Structure 1
Amino acid sequence: MKKIGIFSLLLFSTAFGVFAQTEGPMPMKPEMTEIWDPEVSVVTPGATPLDAPSDAIVLFDGVDLGREWTNSNGGKPEWKVEDGCVTVEKGTGIIKTKRVFEDFQLHIEWRSPSEVIGTSQGRGNSGIFLQERYEVQVLDNFDNRTYRNGQAGSIYKQQAPLVNACKAPGEWQTYDIIYTAPRFNEDGTYFTQPTVTVLHNGVLVQNNTKMRGPTEYIGIPEYSIKKHGPGCIMLQDHGNPVSFRNIWIREL
């Protein structure tokens, strides 16, 4: 009886093992990979792709520049506001937002003068500085050659645009910029670099581009890296009467 009992136990164990291997893991069901909470926030889009969505901060509405912008000293901006846009007044210096930002989606429309004066960098030149440091170049590059890492849609002096998507002088153009601010190591070096994606007139010209450092006219960007927090959006006075309108931003 003892031998029969041992044999029966071995037979049962073997059968159970075979059964377990045959059955395998529990089959997946559709609901096992469905995530319900937290619910996705609702944002109401603008009436057109150019209009600000419901969660955007309108930085310039075509009328009141002083509500969101200052000059370089924190005073009243001196650029000219007329016909729903703001135009660089030569010699008055940059303007910058009163608010500071890190990660964001920025929409801005710009127009170079219809009267063509100058060539290369002397034609419709301005710039959009992200966190006051990293410049997306504004320039009239319609039938106007310049150095490739300094033309419209470039990360100035760092990364050329993928293509030249410029419209003719005097026509309104759009930039849609998605920006991720850098994070830093304790020693002030980048832990993650600042990255930017830019669509120029709906055409991708910068695709998740990693910036080497702050914009420099002369010198190497890496040499001027300094640990920093949130910063302003800054528009450049480069001596050309470039106009801007419909500026809004979404913090990410």
Structure 2
Amino acid sequence: MQLRNALLSLFALVTLHGALFADDFQPNQKELPVQPPEDAIVLLGKDTNEFLSKSGNEIDWPLKDGVLTSTRGEGRSNHLVSKLHFRDADIHVEFKLPQKGTGNSGIYIHGNYELQIINSVGKEKLDQGEIGAVYGFAPALVNAGKGPEDWQVYDIRYQAPRRDDSGKIIKQGSITAWLNGQKVQDATKLGEPRSQYHPYRYKTTDYLKAIWERQKETSIGPVFLQDHDNAVQFRNVWVKPLDQKAFVYEVTNE
């Protein structure tokens, strides 16, 4: 109910205009945690958790004082999926790497496009597996990653690909992303998903299959927090929809 009420308030504030995806996206990342704007939907906060397991059940990641810690599952696939589904949106995620391990994790937007999380401190040559990359699409423009002693922040402006009635992409999507005060993706174009490991393909569930079928028809879907065998922490996750397509997904018994 809380999430639905937040959506109703948001729709009263949304104003559509033609410059949503222009060069005006420059989020303030100077001080963490960042206060969510009034037109954002909080998915993870001090007293808020709007994520489910990939089966649509309660999560099994530890949650304490508004901080979620990634918990290993079978085949590195114990992802969390948001109850909120959206089309175009700004997405904010704060995270912290573990002291041990690579810190491999990620943010799966619509289950298809992963903003990489990993310890890339000191890396000069960046590939599509390092921090700031859109996995399978583009490496980061710069290495803006920090080590495990600091909280870090992603701000992402996402425009979903548009599909025809057959599910074929007829207009590419795009991602612009800032990491720790530096732009790491600049209107990167998005076509069909390229990773064989994204949640709709690898060790998927009936719950996710139903979401994917609907997403192909509507270009509306959730955001995932990735399990990749590393105890990455997450806090202060919110989404600011840029249109009035967002809704709270529920399974219907047809």
The TM-score with structure 1 as length reference comes to: 0.71
Distance 1:228 1:186, change over 3 A: closer
CA deviation digits over 1:204-226, x for unaligned, max 9?
Answer: 000011023214147xxxxxxx9
Q: Which residue of 2 aligns with 1:59?
A: 43
CA deviation digits over 1:92-116, x for unaligned, max 9?
Answer: 7111111211100011101101x23
The aligned length equals 196
Counterparts of 1:159 and 1:153, CA distance in 2: 9
Q: Which residue of 2 aligns with 1:210?
A: 189
Residue among 88, 95, 101 paired with 2:70: 88
CA contact (8 A) 1:135 1:215 kept: no
Counterparts of 2:216 and 2:58, CA distance in 1: 29
How far 1:144 sits from its partner (Å)? Answer: 5.2
Query: Structure 1: where are the runs of 5+ without partners?
Result: 1-39, 118-122, 219-225
How far 1:245 sits from its partner (Å)? Answer: 0.5
Q: Which residue of 1 aligns with 2:94?
A: 109
Matched residues, percent identical? 36
Counterparts of 2:105 and 2:125, CA distance in 1: 14
Q: Which residue of 1 aligns with 2:228?
A: 238
Distance 1:86 1:214, change over 3 A: same
Counterparts of 1:146 and 1:63, CA distance in 2: 40
Where relative contact order (Cα < 8 A, 6+ residues apart) is larger, the structure is 2
SS at match of 2:128: helix
Q: Which residue of 2 aligns with 1:98?
A: 83
Residue 72 (1) aligns with residue 54 (2): yes
Superposed counterparts of 1:26-41, under 5 Å: none
Distance 1:130 1:183, change over 3 A: same
CA contact (8 A) 1:138 1:151 kept: yes
Residue 249 (1) aligns with residue 239 (2): yes
Counterparts of 2:119 and 2:135, CA distance in 1: 14
Q: Which residue of 2 aligns with 1:36?
A: none
CA deviation digits over 1:173-219, x for unaligned, max 9?
Answer: 0000000011123443322111000000120000011023214147x
SS at match of 2:63: strand
CA contact (8 A) 1:107 1:248 kept: yes
Counterparts of 1:150 and 1:205, CA distance in 2: 13
Counterparts of 1:176 and 1:210, CA distance in 2: 17
Counterparts of 1:51 and 1:149, CA distance in 2: 30
Superposed counterparts of 1:116-135, under 5 Å: 116-117=100-101, 123-135=102-114
CA contact (8 A) 2:80 2:226 kept: yes
| 1:104 partner amino acid | A
